[in-house]
């Protein structure tokens, strides 16, 4: 990667630029394969300046994962003007599209939570909690019974199934995108809205 000409940015703009480059890099690399030298070169700065802004590789990684999690939430935000069932399907479609375009990034978020790293787990839990809250906010419109204590557990379980299904799926594999989306959508109605 060729270094860009050095451009002076204020500290907040430089941090944002570096995180954005890191998020893009996660589309092709795992979190732990991120090359700080390549990221610094793409930003047109030295590696030591990158450390100046973040203090350590781990703190840079956490900033990138935090931005990736925020991007996932933004990308999958439903259009509240549409019927609830359409919102659900669209969110699933958006999730599949997001992960397909950013597989390394998504794996870093999901698998990083399982790594035992408390900070990574906290980002993951906060992101999953926001997704659960989003679904629970519209659960009555989807046919659920608000106040049923099993519902949040069912929603969390469905999200775990959805994550694993999307991670396991390959666009080049034998299961086409529409079938995957229908599987995940059907699982929602069966697991969340039709509990025992």
Which CATH number belongs to the domain containing residue 83 in this structure? 1.10.357.10
Q: Are residues 94 and 184 in the same domain?
A: yes
- pLDDT at position 2 is 46
Query: What tokens does 174 get?
Result: 């034998």
Q: Are residues 41 and 98 in the same domain?
A: no
57 occurs within a structural domain = yes
Q: What is the pLDDT of residues 147-191, one digit of tens each?
A: 899 999 999 999 999 999 998 999 899 999 999 999 999 999 999
Which pTM was predicted? Answer: 0.82
Query: What tokens does 82 get?
Result: 């549409």
Q: Quick one: 88 exposed, middle or buried, by C-beta within 10 A (0-12, 13-18, 19+)?
A: buried
Separation of alpha carbons 47 and 164, rounded Å: 35
Q: Are residues 71 and 132 in the same domain?
A: yes
Domain extent for 75: 67-191
Q: What is the pLDDT of residues 101-136, one digit of tens each?
A: 877 777 777 766 566 778 888 988 899 999 999 999
Q: What is the pLDDT of residues 7-37, one digit of tens each?
A: 678 888 999 999 999 988 877 777 777 889 9
CA 37 from centroid of its chain's CA atoms = 25
CATH number, domain containing residue 55: 1.10.10.60
CA 59 from centroid of its chain's CA atoms = 18
Q: Are residues 115 and 131 in the same domain?
A: yes
Judge whether residue 63 has pLDDT over 80: yes
């Amino acid at each position: 990667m060729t270094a860009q000409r050095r451009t002076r940015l204020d500290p907040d703009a430089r941090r944002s630029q570096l995180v954005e480059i890191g998020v893009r890099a996660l589309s092709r690399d795992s979190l732990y394969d991120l090359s700080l030298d390549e990221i610094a070169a793409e930003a047109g700065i030295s590696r030591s300046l990158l450390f100046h802004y973040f203090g350590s590789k781990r703190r840079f990684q956490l900033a990138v994962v935090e931005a990736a999690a925020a991007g996932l939430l933004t990308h999958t935000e439903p259009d509240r003007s549409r019927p609830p069932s359409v919102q659900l399907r669209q969110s699933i479609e958006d999730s599949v599209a997001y992960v397909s375009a950013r597989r390394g990034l998504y794996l870093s978020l999901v698998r990083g939570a399982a790594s035992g790293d408390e900070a990574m787990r906290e980002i993951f839990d906060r992101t999953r909690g926001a997704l659960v809250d989003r679904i629970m906010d519209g659960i009555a419109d989807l046919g659920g019974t608000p106040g049923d204590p099993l519902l949040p557990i069912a929603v969390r379980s469905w999200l775990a199934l959805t994550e694993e299904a999307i991670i396991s799926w390959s666009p080049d594999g034998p299961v086409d995108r529409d079938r995957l989306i229908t599987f995940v959508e059907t699982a929602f109605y069966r697991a969340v809205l039709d509990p025992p």
